[in-house]
Structure 1
Amino acid sequence: MREARGLEVHATESVHGTLTSGSGILRTLKQYCPVKWKPVIPGVETQLGPGLSYRAFNVPTSKSVRFEGTASYGRVVGYRVTDTSTDRSLVYLPGVQRLTPDILEEFQDCSALLIDGSFWRDDEMARLGLAGKTSRDMGHVPISGPGGSLEALSALGIRRKLYVHINNTNPILLEDSQERLQLDRHGMEVAVDGLELEI
């Protein structure tokens, strides 16, 4: 990104604050190229270019705040991206702690869903001796188990449902794993580098 002629960063006020004063990523990038912030307001349809728009939606989380002064609203968001010529859309939700009725409502009539697939089990990191926190503690709904995303999503009539944001401990990354076969049986896919979706 630092070799770009300029960057337009679409982010909520909360995320922008984290990128600027919390992590300092934008301060670093500004040393290499101009960076323009485009405020994202959940619920407001925003044009990206001819025939393409998005609408962000707030995703509630109880995950601990990493940087001081970060607002809770808009700290985690999903995006519904729409091709205005066909009125078809995809939903991008790489981080979600709980699939509440309000969140599931955001998936209505979408052609594709790209959703948080960070962990297979809620206690995945503890089982491997890597961390004491659960998947939900880290802000991610697990795929398996009661209240997991597979249970909630497999019945939805969405043409393409893909897991993204997958942790390297997640066995769905192994094409011949039992977990991957279980996804296949439920009509769920695993996103890969270079994947292109046409909505």
Structure 2
Amino acid sequence: MWVRVLGSAAGGGFPQWNCACPPCRAVRDGSRPCRARTQSSIAVSPDERRWFLFNASPDVRAQIESFPALHPCGDRAVPPQVVVLTDAELDHTLGLLLLRESGGIELHATKAVHDTLCDGTSLLRTLVAYCPVTWHQVEPQADVPLGDGLSYRAFDVPTTKRARFGSGEGNGQGRVVGYRLTDERSGRVLVYLPGVQEFTSAVRDQLAGCSCLLVDGTCWHDDELIRLGRAGRTARQMGHLPIDGPGGSLGQLSPLPIERKIYIHINNTNPILLEDSPQRRTAERHGMEVAVDGLDLWI
């Protein structure tokens, strides 16, 4: 399969418009080596002709324009008319409204995500006023063919993050999912996991045998945003496992025998965005890569 990282930053992008943290200052003034990033999304294809969008960020227009394979050919129909969602967060769904001029959108989402987009944010109620939307209900552990030998299997990713819309907080199934994508021809597997609060045994089981892992790299420290005065909650309280510290993702992922392990959904405050930072060197020394917009993967 072919994978294009369309966006590699967390919500707000990098730099974030209202932030003057050290990484945001550095990317603006060029004082340290780092690259701007849009909000996280990937495109996946079995043949480099038909592409499937995983999450639709608010930056989707710029992401499509930056990738010629997604440009329209001969008419106004945009090739990625299938969108697969991991959750109902605004940084993963607002782009749906920018796809409203398509002839129709095939949306793959769990019932929990679909209900939030209908009855919580009302995003889908707005979208269907502009174009037809066909909802395919995502059921964890069910194999779903996308075409030409490419299939996915969703798996539940428990979270205790308070939901801004819908049913409060708790481990409601389907609020957050990851995807295990398989190329049936080669047997090779990509796991897309841009949001994870804890590597439970069930989540870890989904990583077995994968060739490439795109995984939540939101914050380096659990209290990163508190230290910088950007928020009053820890990374874990916001639904994201930090990279460093006790129980962090770096210590858990570095021993795993996965060919490529790549951090994605990286917050603007995370020092791994600075290519000369000690945190970046530590991550790379432990076999972890840092995604950048435009990264192409052949799996």
- TM-score, length-scaled by structure 1: 0.97
Say whether 1:146 aligns with 2:285.
no
Cα-to-partner distance string for 1:72-91 (whole Å, 9 max, x where unaligned): 11111000000010111110
Q: Aligned to 1:63, what secondary structure does the other structure show?
A: coil
Give 1:18 shift: 1.0
Give 1:183 shift: 1.0
1:132 matched to which residue of 2? 232
Name which of 7, 10, 15 aligns with 2:105: 7
2:145 matched to which residue of 1? 47
Give 1:2 shift: 1.8
Give the residue type in structure 2 aligned to 1:121.
Answer: H
Alignment of 1:1-199 (within 5 A): 1-69=99-167, 72-199=172-299
What are structure 2's unaligned runs of at least 5 residues?
A: 1-98
Looking at structure 2, the residues matched to 23 and 124 of structure 1 have their Cα atoms a distance apart, in angstroms, of 28
Cα-to-partner distance string for 1:38-86 (whole Å, 9 max, x where unaligned): 1000010000112100000011111112222478111110000000101
What are structure 1's unaligned runs of at least 5 residues?
A: none
Give 1:106 shift: 0.7
Q: Is the 8 A contact 2:119 2:166 kept in 1?
A: no
Cα-to-partner distance string for 1:176-195 (whole Å, 9 max, x where unaligned): 11111111101101111111
Cα-to-partner distance string for 1:104-126 (whole Å, 9 max, x where unaligned): 11100000000000100000000
Query: Higher relative contact order at CA 8 Å, sep ≥6: structure 1 or structure 2?
Result: 2
Q: Aligned to 1:126, what secondary structure does the other structure show?
A: helix
2:51 matched to which residue of 1? none
Q: Aligned to 2:238, what secondary structure does the other structure show?
A: coil
- Residue correspondences, number: 199
Q: Aligned to 2:234, what secondary structure does the other structure show?
A: coil
- TM-score, length-scaled by structure 2: 0.65
Q: Identity, % of aligned pairs? A: 60
Give 1:196 shift: 1.7
Looking at structure 2, the residues matched to 25 and 172 of structure 1 have their Cα atoms a distance apart, in angstroms, of 33
Q: Aligned to 2:281, what secondary structure does the other structure show?
A: helix
Q: Aligned to 1:197, what secondary structure does the other structure show?
A: strand
RMSD between aligned residues: 1.2
Looking at structure 1, the residues matched to 159 and 117 of structure 2 have their Cα atoms a distance apart, in angstroms, of 19
Q: Aligned to 1:99, what secondary structure does the other structure show?
A: coil
Looking at structure 1, the residues matched to 167 and 228 of structure 2 have their Cα atoms a distance apart, in angstroms, of 33
Segments of 4+ moved more than 2 angstroms: 68-71
